[in-house]
Amino acid sequence: MLLEPDFEKLAVRSQQRLVREFAERYASLRERVRRTPMDEARAIAERFGCPLQVAQVAYLLDLEGILSVGEAVDRLTAELQRRARVGQAVPNIPGNIMEFAIGEGKWLEHIFGSFVRDIELKTRELANLEATLDEDPPSVEKAISVLAARNRTAGTVILPVIRTWVKEHPGATSEDVMMVFGTALTKWSPNTLRGKLTEIRDMVRAFFRRLHIMISGAVDSATMDLTLERLQGLVDGLGAPFDSMPLEAMAHFLLHVAPRLSGRGDRTRYVIRGAASTRGNMAEPEMKTPYDFMERDIHLARRRIGNERRKYLDERLARVMRALKYLGHERTDIVRSCIAEAIERFHLDVDDGEHLAEEAAVKVAGVPEEESEETMVAVLRGFIEHYIYGETGNE
């Protein structure tokens, strides 16, 4: 589907920003990888059976809260395997694998960071606009507005990114784009997304056919004829096989599958539900320090029960520990400060807080270095479960 001239200009500027951002991100990631603790990276490589260079980048992605270590390793190794399948295998040489891991890590930082955030903002606006189509009788002007908004987001926010991704990923198809970006937007597993592909495609094509019918009632003009022609081209493009779907159509597919977050009551079938964590009058902490992430994750873990809560807490608290260690804090100081922050942030009525923090530090100091993270997580989780989630806890 062709873009309007103004959309083309916006798409070009978006592509230029992406190039600049990636150049800075690549240099930054390379420097941060150089400072990765090798003992941590080796432990990850041994645990997941992946190259050391992949483990180093996975460690940083976990440290930044982009992906967990396991998710990052899965994403990086999946791309290694895909390249091997299409005859573009990365040579099994440390330098080559490092270049691959940094380049792919750059993409994961962007996709799961600014890209997903941009789409969430755009779809929030779009959900409210799409809701106006339910008025009876439907308005031609509103149908045109919805189409223009979708074209703008798909053509100037999504399309430049997926075009660049395809150029940098040898042998990549539209289906690969869909699996990488679609799972990032929906938070679904690849198998879940694959199981819904036909249903989603039918829905988005039906939606555009509906717009076609609504707009066809407008006054005849060359502009309207061209709009309807492009709209039909989009419907046809969405009907192509997934591995050869035009990228313009894939951009609209991804926009449709992205969850709609709306303050007006979302009517779409793809919606994220759940209350945000609270901190005073704020939706969540400002997310500037590892303690902010700890506070948020303690709130989020409350929604889970049993082993699921424990697993979630262990994973998130370990990330906080690694972040503080990366910033130069000693392990005993990390435990002390985390307990002190938890007491303050959750307004806990704990008379002997300093004593509890010191006891926790002694426990951590008494174990070997290689067991310290596991011990720190267990001690802090025990404190949280007893004082925050337990009967004596007071949020």
Residue 135 neighbours by CB distance under 10 Å:
9
Residue 275's pLDDT is 34
Residue 155 amino acid letter? G
Residue of 255, 270, 261, 283 lying closest to 178 (CA atoms): 255
* pLDDT one-digit tens code per residue, 87-130: 999 999 999 999 999 999 999 999 998 899 889 888 888 888 88
Q: Measure the CA angle with vertex 249, ends 181 and 168; round to 5°.
A: 50
Residue 347's pLDDT is 87
Q: Where are the domains of the chain?
A: 5-257, 290-387
Question: In this prediction, what percent of the chain has a pLDDT beyond 70?
Answer: 84
Question: In this prediction, what percent of the chain has a pLDDT beyond 90?
Answer: 37
Which pair of structure tokens corresponds to residue 191? 């198998």
Residue 111's pLDDT is 93
Mean pLDDT of 365-381: 88
Return the higher-pLDDT residue of 219 and 18: 18
- Cβ atoms of 45 and 52 within 8 Å: the answer is yes
Q: Examine the pLDDT at 175 and tell me if it is beyond 90.
A: yes
Mean pLDDT of 72-88: 96
Give the pLDDT band (50/70/90) at residue 28.
confident
* pLDDT one-digit tens code per residue, 332-362: 999 999 999 999 888 888 878 888 888 888 9
* pLDDT one-digit tens code per residue, 241-264: 999 999 999 999 999 999 876 444
Mean pLDDT of 286-315: 86
76 contact partners, CB below 8 Å, separation of at least 6 = 50, 54, 57, 58, 101, 104, 105, 108
Beta bridge partners of 279: 282
Beta bridge partners of 282: 279
- Cβ atoms of 106 and 31 within 8 Å: the answer is no
324 contact partners, CB below 8 Å, separation of at least 6 = 290, 334, 337, 338
